[in-house]
Amino acid sequence: MGKRVFESLPDMSKARNRVRAPELVYENIQVSPELASFAKGKGYFIKTFGCQANVRDEEIMGGYLVKAGYHRVEEEKDADLVIINTCAVRENAEDKVYGEIGKCKQHHLRDKDFILAVCGCMMQEEGVAEKITKSYPYVNLIFGTHNTHKLLDLLSEHIARKKDIINVESFPGDIIENLPSERLDRHSAFVNIAYGCDKFCTYCIVPYTRGRERSRPLKEIIKECQELVDEGYQQITLLGQNVNSYGKDLHDGTNFATVLEEVAKLGIPRLRFMTSHPWDFSDDMLEVIAKYPNIMNCIHLPVQSGSSEVLRIMGRRYTREQYLDLVKRIRAKIPGVAITTDIIVGFPGETQEQFEETLSLCEEVRYDSAFTFIYSPRKGTPAAKMKDDVTRETKLERFNRLLKVIEETTDEASARLVGKTVLVLADGPSKKDPSVLSGYSEGSKLVNFKGPAYLTGEIVEVKIVENHCHYLVGELLEDPLLLKAKSLKKALGEEPALKEFLELEAKIGASEELRSLRKQIEEAQRKMVRLANDQEAYLLAKNEYMALMNRYQGDPLILNRNAVKEEAETLLRKVAEELS
C-alpha cells in the first residue's frame, strides 16, 4: 500500500440528489490520547478563502483543534499544522488556492512533522483532489465541507497510519450541533441558521459543494445567540445561502421572520443577516425588520442580472419587474434602508441589450454598494454547458461599464451621509494608521475616524466629515475616555460577581461588629510588637490576635466576600488586559 489513501472522492450527482432526510447529530468530541499527546503545544494556522460560511468553518475547525491541544498562531510560518480552507465560486478564487498550497512547499521541506491539509468547497468538485495530490504531493489531508467535524479523526488517522488521507464525501449534508468554536472576533459573530442551497441557479456551484438546504433547529440558533449576548457580543450576523428560505424543510411553521424576531428579542445591539434571495422575501420579514431597532436596516439582495430573460436562464425565479417591485416594497416599509447586491456580467449568451438592462436596473435601484463579477464557468453546473459567444473583451468592457455605474451610486449613497451622525461599531485600529479606528455604520458603510484602540468593540457616535466613495471619514463626537468609562461602568455593573462583591464590601463596611473586630485586631497587633522581647507575654498576645482573626475571617459576610473576590478579580484582570 502506498503513502496515500483515497477513502472517498466527490461525486456531484450524489450531492444533488437527496436520498435521505438530513440527520441531526449532536457532537460529542473525543480526543484520542495519541492525538492529544501529538498536538500538545503545537500551533495551527488556517488560511480561509471565500465567504462568511467559510470563515465560520474556520472558527469551528479551530474549536476542534483547540480541544485536541493545538493553539492558534498568527502566521503560517509558525504553524505545525496549516489548513487551506478553499472557495469554489469562481475560477480566480481557485487559482489563489493553488498559489497558497505552492507556498507551503518550503515549510514541508523544512519541517518533517509539518501537516498540510486542504479542505472546503473546492475539494467537493470532481477532479480537484486528484489534481492536488499529483501536483502537490506534500499535501497530507484533503477533506470537504461535509466532514469538517471529522477533522480530529482524520488527523488521528493520518498520524497513526502515517499516510496521507483523501476523504471528500458527497451527499446533501447533515446538521451537526454542539460544534466547538474558536471565534475570530470578540465583538462580532457569525451564526449559521441554515446550510446548503436548494435553488440551483444554473451558474452556481454552491448546491453541489455545500449540499441541499437544511435549517438548524430554532432552539439551537437561539441558544448560540444567547451565549453570544451573555458574552457581551455587539453584533450577530445570521448566515445562510438563502436566509429567507429558513424553515421550509422543518414543516412546523417556523420561518426566517420567526428567527429574526426571536434573536432580536435577545437584545443583541446589532443584528444582521445574509444572504436574502429575492424570490421568497416575505412581508413578514419586512415587518420584523421595521419593528426592531436592533435589526440593521441593510439588505443584501443579489439581483445577478437586470434582464428577465437572463434571469430565467440563470434559474433565478423572478423577473426584472418583480425585483424592482420588491425593492419598492422594501423601501416603503423601511425608509432609509441600504440595499446592496451581487451582479454577474457576461453570462453565456448575454446580449448587449440584456447587459444594458442590467445597467438601467442599477441606475434605477441606485445600490448603496455592489459586488460585481465576470461570469466564470463552473464544471458540473448547467451554465457551463451553455453556448457562450460573448468574447472576453466584451465581458471586460461590460464589467468596467457596470463598475462605473455602481461607483456612481455608491458615491451618491456615501455623500448623503456627510454632515450626519452615524453609529459605528469600532472593529479596531486601521492597518495603515494605528491612531485611526475603522468600523461599519448601521447601513454597512466603512467609516474611519481618529480614536484610541481601547474603543474597539464599542458602538460610538461619529460625525461624517468626508466621503471617499468606498469609505467615509468621521470624527468621534464624545471624549473617548469618557465613552469607555461609561461603557465599562454599564458592563461591569451588570456582572453578577462584581455586583455581589461590591454589595458585600458595602455591608462589611457598614457592620459595627466587624468594625469593632478590626479595631481589636489592630490593637492586638500593636501589643505583639510592644511585647516582642518578652516571649511569654508575646505568645499570649499572639493567641489573642489569632482568636480575633479567626472570628473575623469566620464571619459569614467575610466568607462570602472572599468567595466572590477571586471571580471578580479575574474579571477585572480581563478588562485590564483588554484596555492595555
Binding site for ligand SF4 (CB under 6 A): 197, 199-201, 204, 206-207, 241-242, 277
| Plot region of 318 (φ>0 → left; ψ -120 to 50 → alpha; else → beta) | beta
376 binds, among ligand SF4, ligand 5AD, none (CB under 5 to 8 A by kind): ligand 5AD
Residue 255 per-residue DSSP state: -
Between CA 65 and CA 151 the distance in angstroms is 8
In the complex, least distance from residue 436 CB atom to ligand 5AD, rounded to whole angstroms? 30
Q: Which is nearer to ligand 5AD, 241 or 255 (CB)?
A: 241
Least Å distance between CB 315 and ligand 5AD? 12
Pick from ligand 5AD, ligand SF4, none: which does 144 bind, CB < 5 to 8 A by kind?
none
- Smallest gap from Cβ 207 to ligand SF4, in A, equals 5
Cβ atoms 441, 447 nearer than 8 A: yes
C-alpha span between 186 and 428 (Å, rounded)? 11
> Degrees (nearest 5) of the Cα angle 538, 540, 543?
110
Q: How many CB atoms lie within 10 A of CB 269?
A: 17
Residue 133 vs 376, nearer CB to ligand 5AD: 376
C-alpha pair distances (Å), 513 with each of 520, 521, 561: 11, 12, 16
Q: How far apart are CA 237 and CA 74, in angstroms?
A: 24
For ligand 5AD, the closer CB: 70 or 203? 203
Residue 200, binding choice from ligand SF4, ligand 5AD, none, Cβ under 5 to 8 Å by partner class = ligand SF4
Q: Which three cell numbers stand for residue 218?
A: 430554532
CB of 284: closest distance to ligand 5AD in angstroms?
24
Compute the distance between CA of residue 208 and CA of residue 195 in angstroms, rounded to an integer. Answer: 12
**Both ends of the chain: CA-CA distance in Å?**
55
Is 89 or 568 the residue whose CB approaches ligand 5AD more closely?
89
Shortest spacing between CB 372 and ligand 5AD, in angstroms: 8
139 Cβ partners below 8 Å, 6+ apart? Answer: 101, 116, 117, 118, 132, 133, 164
Per DSSP, helices labelled H in 366-494 are 392-415, 480-493
The smaller minimum CB distance to ligand SF4, of residues 375 and 449, is found at 375
Nearer to ligand 5AD, 49 or 70 (CB): 49
| Minimum gap (Å) between residue 344 Cβ and ligand SF4 | 9
Q: Which does 199 bind (CB under 5 to 8 A by kind): ligand 5AD, ligand SF4, none?
A: ligand SF4
CB of 124 to ligand SF4, least distance (A): 13
Binds 61, which of ligand 5AD, ligand SF4, none (CB < 5 to 8 A, cut-off by type)? none
Nearest CB to ligand SF4, comparing residues 48 and 235: 48
Which of the choices ligand 5AD, ligand SF4, none does residue 101 contact, using the CB cut-off of 5 to 8 A by kind?
none
Q: For binding to ligand 5AD (CB under 6 A), which residues are involved? A: 89-90, 203-204, 302, 304, 342, 344, 373, 375-376, 378
Nearer to ligand SF4 by Cβ, of 180 and 207: the residue is 207
Cell of residue 478, nine digits = 464624545
Is the CB of residue 79 less than 8 Å from the CB of residue 45?
Answer: yes
Q: Scanning the structure block, which residue is given the C-alpha cell 441606475? A: 363
Which residue's CB is nearer to ligand 5AD, number 228 or number 243?
A: 243
Q: How far is the CB of 90 from ligand 5AD (least distance, A)?
A: 5
Closest CB to ligand 5AD among 44 and 203? 203
Residue 197 interaction partner, one of ligand 5AD, ligand SF4, none, beta carbon < 5-8 Å per kind? ligand SF4
State in angstroms the smallest separation of the CB of 50 from ligand SF4. Answer: 12
Closest to ligand 5AD by CB, 234 vs 304, is: 304
- Chain residue at closest Cβ approach to ligand 5AD: 342
Kindly give, in sequence order, each residue whose CB lies less than 8 Å from that of residue 74, ignoring residues fewer than 6 positions away: 45
Q: Are 480 and 455 in contact (CB under 8 A)?
A: yes
Reduced 3-state DSSP string for 192-223: ECEECCCCCCCCCCHHHHCCCCEECCHHHHHH
Is residue 245 within 8 A of residue 274, CB to CB? The reply is: no
**Residue 373 near which of ligand SF4, ligand 5AD, none (CB within 5-8 Å, type-dependent):** ligand 5AD
Partner whose binding site includes residue 242, from ligand SF4, ligand 5AD, none (CB under 5 to 8 Å by kind): ligand SF4
- Which partner, ligand SF4, ligand 5AD, none, binds residue 45 by CB below 5 to 8 Å per kind? none
Nearer to ligand SF4, 55 or 206 (CB): 206
User: By C-alpha distance, which of 360, 346, 318, 55 is closest to 203?
Assistant: 346
d(CA 362, CA 409): 8
Determine the Cα–Cα distance for residues 55 and 183; give it in Å rounded to an integer: 9
- Closer to ligand 5AD by Cβ: residue 376 or 520: 376
Dihedral class, residue 317 (left if φ above 0, else alpha if ψ from -120 to 50, else beta): left
Rounded CA gap, 87 and 313, in Å?
A: 24
Q: Which residues does 217 contact at the CB level (< 8 Å), separation at least 6?
A: 24, 175, 177, 250
241 interface partner picked from ligand 5AD, ligand SF4, none, CB below 5 to 8 A per type: ligand SF4
CB of residue 284 to ligand SF4, shortest distance in Å: 20
Task: Tell me the three cell numbers of residue 576.
Answer: 485590564
274 membership: H or E segment, kind and range: strand 270-274
